[in-house]
Copies of this chain bind each other. A is one copy, B any other.
Amino acid sequence: MKKGRLEAFTDGVLAIIITIMVLELKVPHGGSFEDLIPLLPVFGSYVLSFIYLAIYWNNHHHMMQTVKHVTGSILWANMHLLFWLSIIPFATGWMGENHFTEASVFLYGVILLLAAIAYWILQRLILKTHGKESLLSKALGKDIKGKISPVLYVLGIIGVFYNIWFSGTIFILVAIMWLIPDRRIERILKSE
């Protein structure tokens, strides 16, 4: 099985997910600046989800470059990842439209966690098929970001019941952590 079509399909689905989210930004009926204000939380959650999906595309892109052969299980693990990512527009819209209620931030965190787990499973399967001496294995190294992220998501999910802004901050921090180029963050994390 060639990886080209798997990449093309994944690109297609991610491109659609990232773009379809903008449909949750419903055009307001009024035409003045004040009419935009109620949209600000929706816009904020749109920005965050856009960054998350861009990170996933970026990481997926890198990971696939190390892949040589696609097995049936890799294909399904990829579909599983796409499934949770496809729910992000819904979770984003719900969180934004309801101005970050407990339940909506909780759901958003859960979807992020499930997507992270799905990504981890996909990575595991690729590592398993390609061996410890593979490119991916070397590129990942200790995979500190990959190990910290789920812990932070869980913290954010539980934190919802104490303070929503605490959870929101965590979800933003995870995104920033992935945005910062690898070497720098690893140095920061090692020095702690």
Q: Which residue of chain B has the shortest Cβ distance to A5 in the bound complex?
A: B61
Residue A83 at the chain B interface, CB threshold 8 Å = yes
Report the contact-size class of chain A (Cβ under 8 Å from the partner).
35 or more
Alpha-carbon gap, A23 to B89, bound state (A): 9
Count the copies.
Answer: 4
Contact A98 B12 (CB under 8 A): no
Q: Nearest 6 pairs between A and B by C-beta?
A: A31-B98, A12-B15, A31-B101, A16-B19, A27-B93, A33-B103
Name A's B-contacting residues (CB within 8 A).
1-2, 5-9, 11-20, 22-25, 27-33, 35-36, 47, 50, 54, 57-58, 61-62, 65, 72, 75-76, 79, 82-83, 86-87, 89-90, 93-94, 97-99, 101-104, 106-107, 179, 181
